[in-house]
Amino acid sequence: MNASTPDELLRTEGLTLRFGGITAADGIDFSLARGEHLAVIGANGAGKTTFINICTGYVKPSSGRVLFEGLDITRQGPRQIARLGVGRSFQLPQLFLDHTVRQCLELASVSRRGVLSRWTPLSRAADQRAVAEMLELVELGDHADAPTAVLPEGRRKLLDVGIALMLEPKLVIMDEPTSGVSSEDKHGVMRTLMHALQQRKVTSWFVEHDVEIVRRYATRVAAWIDGRIAADGAPEQVFADPLVRSEVLGERAGQGGH
């Protein structure tokens, strides 16, 4: 077992999870370095979200471990892992539907500050400068006082990541940040998100089905097949892999290349 290098942010060792007869994670050894922007690709049911759920403490693995900055976080819950510096956004954005955009960020801000007052109003307890900066960073300034329940999907995705970024994480894991967003808006949403992550010098890992987006924004690609990583490396290298071409990209044998 090789020791963790200073560049290594997250690492998993032999991560396995079985639900009855189904193996959702099959001994995954994985490592993510600081500064990487990893795209995870794979068919539905390949175990991409399960892997995220394990690494963020939502689901406990049957065996194996997860290390974040060398610290074993396998048995920690989402709350502790979030506090250690792992942010997450969801395929279906997880927002506070009785609150406005600004209030969602304020709630994340008071959590970051670590004080929950029973007396000071939320708006005063939150770091308003940090909130204003985040509104600008994820381009929600015009919607700041809109109730989250009426936001269009693209904005919801941006807010979901903005909430995660309020905790000043070192790593943000985004589950399908462009799914459900219209094809015209997809690129705009992704551009804003990646710009925000780079501004904050946050490492990222995102699940994505759109090959064009992956090619444009990922520094590294990992392809999931049946709870394993079938290919992992530079985008062009992974996209050239015959197994990835047939199983993930859905190309028939003999089509395009081999």
Q: Minimum CB separation from other proteins for residue 178, in Å? A: 16
Taking the complex as a whole, the smallest distance from the CB of residue 162 to other proteins amounts, in Å, to 11
Looking at the Cβ atoms of 119 and 184, the one nearer to other proteins is 119
Give the separation between CA 253 and CA 124, rounded to whole angstroms: 61
**Of the candidate residues 46, 138, 163, 244, the single one contacting other proteins (CB under 8 A):** 163
Residue at 219: amino acid letter: T
Residue 25 three-state SS: strand
Least gap, CB of 244 to other proteins (angstroms): 30
Find all residues with CB under 8 Å of 164, minimum gap 6, and list them: 87, 88, 89, 108, 172
- Which lies closer to other proteins via its Cβ, residue 164 or residue 218? 164
Enclosing H/E stretch for 223: strand 220-225
Residue 144 binds other proteins (CB under 8 A): no
Q: Are 177 and 193 in contact (CB under 8 A)?
A: yes
Show contacts with other proteins in window 80-139 (CB under 8 A): 80, 82-83, 87-88, 90, 92, 94-99, 103, 106-108, 110-112, 115-122, 125-126
CB of 193 to other proteins, least distance (A): 17
Closer to other proteins by Cβ: residue 109 or 241: 109
Pair 196, 165: CB distance under 8 Å: yes
Binding residues for other proteins, total number by CB under 8 A: 43
Contacts of 172 (CB under 8 A, 6+ apart): 86, 87, 88, 89, 161, 164, 165, 197, 202, 203, 204, 205
Closest-CA residue to 10 (of 26, 27, 34, 28) = 34
Q: Which pairing describes strands 220-225 and 203-207: parallel, antiparallel, or unpaired?
A: unpaired
Given the rule CB under 8 A, which residues bind other proteins?
56, 77-80, 82-83, 87-88, 90, 92, 94-99, 103, 106-108, 110-112, 115-122, 125-126, 147, 149-150, 153, 156, 163-164, 166-167
